[in-house]
C-alpha cells in the first residue's frame, strides 16, 4: 500500500466548516496573545504567576495543533486544484518546516522557564527573523508573480496595484525586522521571572526615527493599495453580495484603520497622561485586528455567493483567512521581552498568514482576471457577429448567435484552465446571462 504524509492523511476530514471553526479559534487565541503582550509591562505579576505561565503554554498548544491542520488543508486544496504556480510546492515545504521550527522555539522557551525560571532572548531573535523572513520572501514572490503577470495581462491595473501593495509590504517587513531586533537588543540576554517587560525606544537616534517613520509610511501605503486592489478584485461580485453591504464593509475598513493611528499620535489615547492607559492601549492596538477581520469578512461574503466547491470560492476563503491572521499576527510584538513572552505565538503565525495570502490572493486574482477575459471574449465575439444581430428577428436566429459565441467562450475557458490549472469562474449559466446582456446593449446602440 502506498504511504501518504501525515498532513494528507488527516486533511480529508477537515472541510471548510471545520476550517472556519479552527480559524475562529486561531484568531481569538492570537488576538488574546497579542493584546496581553501589548500591556505586559502593566501586569508583570499576573504574567509570571502559575496562571500566566499556564496561559502561555495553552497558546503554544493551540499554535501547534491549528497550524498543522491549516497547512494540511492548504496542501490538500492545492493538490486538488491542480494549481500551476511556480515555487508553490517548494514554498509549502519551506513554510511547513519554518512553522514547526517556530513551534520548537516556543517549546524551548517553555522548557527553559520550567527548568531555570528564565529564558534566553536568542529565542526571540530567532522567532522574529524566521517569521519576518517568511513574510518578506512569501510576499516578495507574490509581488514578483504579479509583476510578471502584469506584463502578460495587457497591463491590468488591478494586478499592478496588488503588485505595488505587496512590494510595500515587503519593505514594511524588512524595516520591521530592523526595528524589532534593535529594540530587543536593548534587553538583557537572559530574562528572569522577576524581570518586568519594558518597551524600549529606538537606540539609533536620527537613523532610528527615519526607519520607524518609513516603516509606518510603508504600512499605510501597503494598506491603502491593498484596499484599492481588494475593491477591484471583488468588484465583479458586488452585485451578488449587495452594493450597500459591500461598500459599508470596505468603507469601515478604510475609516477605522486611518483614524486610529492619527488619534493616538495627536494624544487622544496617551497612556502616560490618562488613568485608563491600559484600555486606551488595547483600543489602539485592536485597530489592526478589526481591520483584518473586516478585510476577511469582505472576501468571505463574496465567497459565499459562489458555487460551493469551486476553486475561486476556496481561494477567496483562503485569502480571507490570510488577511485576518496577517493583521493580527503583524500587530504582535515581543521586543518588550516579558516573562513569559506573550505575543510570541501570534508573531510566529506571521509567515503562515502570508502564505495563506500568497495562495489565496494570487489565484483569486487569476480567477477574476479569467472572468474578465471571458466576458471580453464574449463581448468581442458578439461584436464580430453584429451583422447577424441586424438580421435577428426570431428566437431561432438569436439562439444561433448564442451557440457561436458560447463555443468561442468555452474554448477560451478551456485554454485558460489548462494554462493556470484554475477552472473558469464563469459557469455556462453565467456566460448565457452575460451574453444576453451584451446582445441587448448592442441592439440598443444599433
Compute the 3-state secondary structure of the chain and give helix, strand, coil in percent, each to the nearest 5.
Answer: 80, 0, 20
Q: Check: CB of residue 313 under 8 Å from CB of residue 300.
A: no
Alpha-carbon torsion angle 358, 362, 316, 230, nearest 10: 100
Q: Check: CB of residue 243 under 8 Å from CB of residue 234.
A: no
Alpha helices in 82-187 (DSSP H): 88-116, 122-152, 157-184
Measured CA distances, 14 to 31, 296, 390 (Å): 23, 20, 54
- End-to-end CA separation in angstroms for the chain: 66
Question: The pTM is what?
Answer: 0.76
- CA-closest candidate to residue 324, choices 84, 76, 70, 136: 70
d(CA 288, CA 178): 21
d(CA 384, CA 374): 15
Cis ω before 340 (30° cut-off from 0): yes
Q: State phi, psi for 104 to the nearest 5 degrees.
A: -65, -35
d(CA 238, CA 366): 18
d(CA 232, CA 150): 15
- CA-closest candidate to residue 431, choices 408, 416, 422, 440: 408
Strand partners, 119: 191
Q: Long-range contact list for 86-93, CB < 8 A, 24+ apart?
A: 86/145, 87/141, 88/359, 91/138, 91/141, 91/355, 91/358, 92/355
Q: What are the extents of the domains in the chain? A: 6-365, 372-445
Other beta carbons within 10 angstroms of residue 134's beta carbon come to 24
pLDDT at 154: 60
In this structure, are strands 118-120 and 190-192 parallel, antiparallel, or unpaired? antiparallel
d(CA 325, CA 92): 17
pLDDT at 391: 44
pLDDT 10s per residue in the chain (446 long)?
A: 333 444 444 444 556 788 889 999 999 999 999 888 888 888 889 999 999 999 999 999 999 999 999 998 888 777 766 555 556 778 889 999 999 999 999 999 999 999 999 999 999 999 999 999 999 999 998 888 888 777 665 667 777 888 888 898 999 899 888 888 888 888 889 999 888 888 776 555 556 667 767 777 788 888 888 888 778 777 777 777 678 877 887 887 777 666 655 555 444 544 444 445 555 555 666 667 777 887 787 778 777 777 777 677 788 888 889 988 998 898 888 988 899 999 999 999 999 999 998 888 777 766 666 555 555 555 555 555 554 444 444 444 455 555 555 565 566 555 555 555 555 555 556 656 655 665 566 555 55
d(CA 386, CA 380): 10
Amino acid at each position: 500500500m502506498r504511504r501518504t504524509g501525515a498532513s494528507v492523511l488527516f486533511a480529508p476530514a477537515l472541510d471548510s466548516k471545520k476550517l472556519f471553526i479552527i480559524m475562529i479559534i486561531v484568531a481569538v487565541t492570537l488576538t488574546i496573545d497579542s493584546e496581553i503582550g501589548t500591556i505586559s509591562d502593566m501586569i508583570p505579576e499576573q504574567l509570571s504567576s502559575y496562571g500566566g505561565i499556564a496561559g502561555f503554554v495553552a497558546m503554544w498548544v493551540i499554535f501547534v495543533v491549528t497550524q498543522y491542520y491549516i497547512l494540511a488543508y492548504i496542501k490538500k486544496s492545492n493538490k486538488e486544484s491542480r494549481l500551476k504556480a511556480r515555487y508553490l510546492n517548494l514554498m509549502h515545504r519551506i513554510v511547513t518546516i519554518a512553522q514547526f521550527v517556530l513551534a520548537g522555539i516556543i517549546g524551548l522557551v517553555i522548557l527553559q522557564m520550567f527548568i531555570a525560571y528564565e529564558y534566553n532572548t536568542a529565542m526571540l531573535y530567532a522567532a522574529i527573523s524566521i517569521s519576518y523572513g517568511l513574510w518578506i520572501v512569501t510576499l516578495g514572490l507574490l509581488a514578483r508573480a504579479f509583476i510578471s503577470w502584469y506584463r502578460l495581462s495587457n497591463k491590468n491595473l488591478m494586478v499592478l496595484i496588488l503588485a505595488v501593495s505587496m512590494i510595500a509590504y515587503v519593505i514594511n517587513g524588512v524595516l520591521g525586522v530592523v526595528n524589532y531586533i534593535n529594540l530587543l537588543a536593548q534587553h538583557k540576554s537572559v530574562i528572569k521571572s522577576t524581570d518586568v517587560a519594558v518597551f524600549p525606544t529606538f537606540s539609533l537616534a536620527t537613523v532610528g526615527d527615519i526607519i520607524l517613520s518609513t516603516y509606518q509610511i510603508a504600512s499605510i501605503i501597503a494598506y491603502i493599495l491593498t484596499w484599492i486592489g481588494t475593491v477591484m478584485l471583488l468588484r465583479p461580485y458586488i452585485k451578488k453580495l449587495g452594493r450597500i453591504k459591500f461598500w459599508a464593509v470596505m468603507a469601515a475598513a478604510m475609516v477605522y484603520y486611518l483614524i486610529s493611528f492619527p488619534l493616538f499620535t495627536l494624544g487622544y489615547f496617551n497612556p502616560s497622561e490618562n488613568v485608563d492607559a491600559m484600555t486606551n492601549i488595547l483600543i489602539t492596538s485592536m485597530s489592526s485586528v478589526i481591520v483584518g477581520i473586516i478585510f476577511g469578512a469582505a472576501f468571505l461574503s463574496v465567497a459565499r455567493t459562489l458555487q460551493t466547491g469551486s476553486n475561486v470560492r476556496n481561494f477567496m476563503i483562503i485569502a480571507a483567512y490570510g488577511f485576518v491572521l496577517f493583521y493580527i499576527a503583524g500587530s504582535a510584538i515581543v521586543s518588550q521581552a516579558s516573562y513569559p513572552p506573550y505575543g510570541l505565538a501570534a508573531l510566529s503565525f506571521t509567515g503562515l498568514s502570508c502564505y495563506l495570502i500568497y495562495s489565496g490572493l494570487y489565484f483569486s486574482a487569476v480567477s477574476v482576471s479569467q472572468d474578465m477575459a471571458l466576458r471580453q471574449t464574449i463581448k468581442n465575439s458578439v461584436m464580430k457577429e453584429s451583422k447577424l444581430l441586424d438580421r435577428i428577428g426570431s428566437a431561432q436566429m438569436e439562439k444561433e448567435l448564442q451557440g457561436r459565441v458560447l463555443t468561442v467562450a468555452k474554448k477560451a475557458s478551456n485554454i485558460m484552465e489548462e494554462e493556470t490549472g484554475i477552472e473558469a469562474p464563469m459557469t455556462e449559466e453565467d456566460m448565457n446571462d452575460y451574453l444576453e446582456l451584451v446582445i441587448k446593449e448592442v441592439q440598443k446602440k444599433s
